[in-house]
Amino acid sequence: MSKPKGFEKPTGFRDYTPHVVSKLRTIERNVLECMERWGYRQIITPTIEYYDTVGVASSTSDRKLFKLLNSRGTTLVLRSDLTAPIARVVSSMLKDEQLPLRLSYHANVFRSIEEEAGREAEFFQTGVELVGDDSPEADAEVVALAIASLQAAGVSSFKIAMGHMGFLNGLLEEVIPGQTSEQEQLKEGLLGRDYVGYRQSIEALNLEPKLKEQLEAILRLRGGKEVCTHAVELSSSAEAAQSIAHLCAVFEVLEAYGVSEHVLIDLTMIGDFSYYTGMTFEGYAAELGSPVCSGGRYDNLLQQFGRSLPATGFALKTNRIIDGVHGITIEEKKPLLIQYSPKRRAEALTEAARLRSLGQNVVTLLLTEDGAGASAVSAGATTVQAEQVITYGSEEGGR
């Protein structure tokens, strides 16, 4: 393998130019402030975790984890999400705090990728976890907060697709009981939005027409509150009925929040079926075909850290918002320029310090004897872009 050139970086990683960083920080600040107004406190966890704890508990597949060894030979991982690390903290450092816990975060995460265009191995997530409440009110709160957070991030046109893992589990167990591998294959088709493959998997089961229709009908269960009625008619499973009742209750709370126009019920929405246990959702911006946020209920995660608690949450896919949504416009704020002769350096730098203490952005520039900017010339620049210029020249008197 050839040695990388000096300007190259590993595949899937990127540099953030000042303008992009300004947009990222604006989104981060706006969204975290929105979450704080909803009572969520920010938490920061390590970039590196133990593989045998957070790594195995993560929803990320093992092959996508970045693994490394410490000096003692212990396997570590770069965090691939924030939910598992937060579950670790909730089960240890926060075990004596009153429930429910409302926590927010903004951090970079790492996932190993195949070398293909458009995929990132390091990206940012901003999200929340609501721990200790299994009610429809809690699920509705995180969906409503996801909507508010998308708006705070500058995403003006979007839809939230909301489903429930329990409905599909109940339906599949009713139609093809005990056939675990076949159930997993059908879930894979829905998870990948491969509806042709989903139908082919149904055909391969050699079911009677009525049962085939039951499985195919789930593809039509998308829309508003009326989907709940159709879903109840589709399955007699107790688990499916309970799941639909919960989902309808969530939708009713969202109506009370006044945000239900952003939400559609989609019972093909199952999220990561190895991870989520109840309500799941994804948010889609008008400009993008891929989701800009995702979340749901994961009631089994915390017990892996010795504390059995229900939990629900979501994460904004901040990089996709930065790159694909044109909601937030960052205007470059030009600084004030103070240029000065060598004799008046102290006077000029004192004034620069005073203005900075008042919140003004200030750059300074040393002038040569002929009036040119020595600092700029030595750096290869010709001009300094500034909103205003103040000159402390070599002549006696004022500026």
Q: How does DSSP assign 180-199, residue by residue?
A: HHHHHHHHHHHHTT-HHHHH
Q: What is the pLDDT of residue 300?
A: 93
Are 300 and 310 a contacting pair, CB within 8 Å? no
Residue 399 has pLDDT above 60, yes or no: no
The C-alpha atoms of residue 145 and residue 55 are separated, in whole angstroms, by 28
Mind listing the pLDDT tens digit for each residue in 139-160?
999 999 999 999 999 998 999 9
Amino acid at position 35, single letter = M
Mind listing the pLDDT tens digit for each residue in 219-257?
999 998 889 888 888 888 899 999 999 999 999 999 999
Mean pLDDT of the chain: 89
| 128 closest CA partner among 218, 56, 34 | 34
Beta strands per DSSP E along 192-310: 222-223, 263-266, 279-285, 293-297
The C-alpha atoms of residue 91 and residue 305 are separated, in whole angstroms, by 6
Mind listing the pLDDT tens digit for each residue in 188-204?
888 888 899 989 999 88
H or E, element range at 339: strand 336-340
Determine phi and psi for 203, rounding to 5 degrees.
-60, -35
Mind listing the pLDDT tens digit for each residue in 269-289?
888 767 889 999 999 998 888
Global model pTM greater than 0.85: yes
Q: Report the number of secondary-structure helices (H) and strands (E) in the chain.
A: 13, 15
Are 310 and 246 a contacting pair, CB within 8 Å? no
Which pair of structure tokens corresponds to residue 279?
């309500």
Mind listing the pLDDT tens digit for each residue in 329-342?
777 788 999 999 99
Q: What is the pLDDT of residue 119?
A: 78
Q: What is the pLDDT of residue 118?
A: 62
Q: What is the pLDDT of residue 378?
A: 41
Are 270 and 168 a contacting pair, CB within 8 Å? yes
Q: What is the pLDDT of residue 382?
A: 42
| 190 closest CA partner among 211, 169, 213, 209 | 169
Q: What is the pLDDT of residue 373?
A: 56
Cα dist. 355→308, 332, 360, 361, 387 in Å?
54, 19, 5, 8, 14
Q: What is the pLDDT of residue 290?
A: 84
The C-alpha atoms of residue 348 and residue 370 are separated, in whole angstroms, by 18
Q: What is the pLDDT of residue 43?
A: 97
Q: What is the pLDDT of residue 386?
A: 83
Could you tell me the pLDDT band of residue 49, with boundaries at 50, 70 and 90?
very high
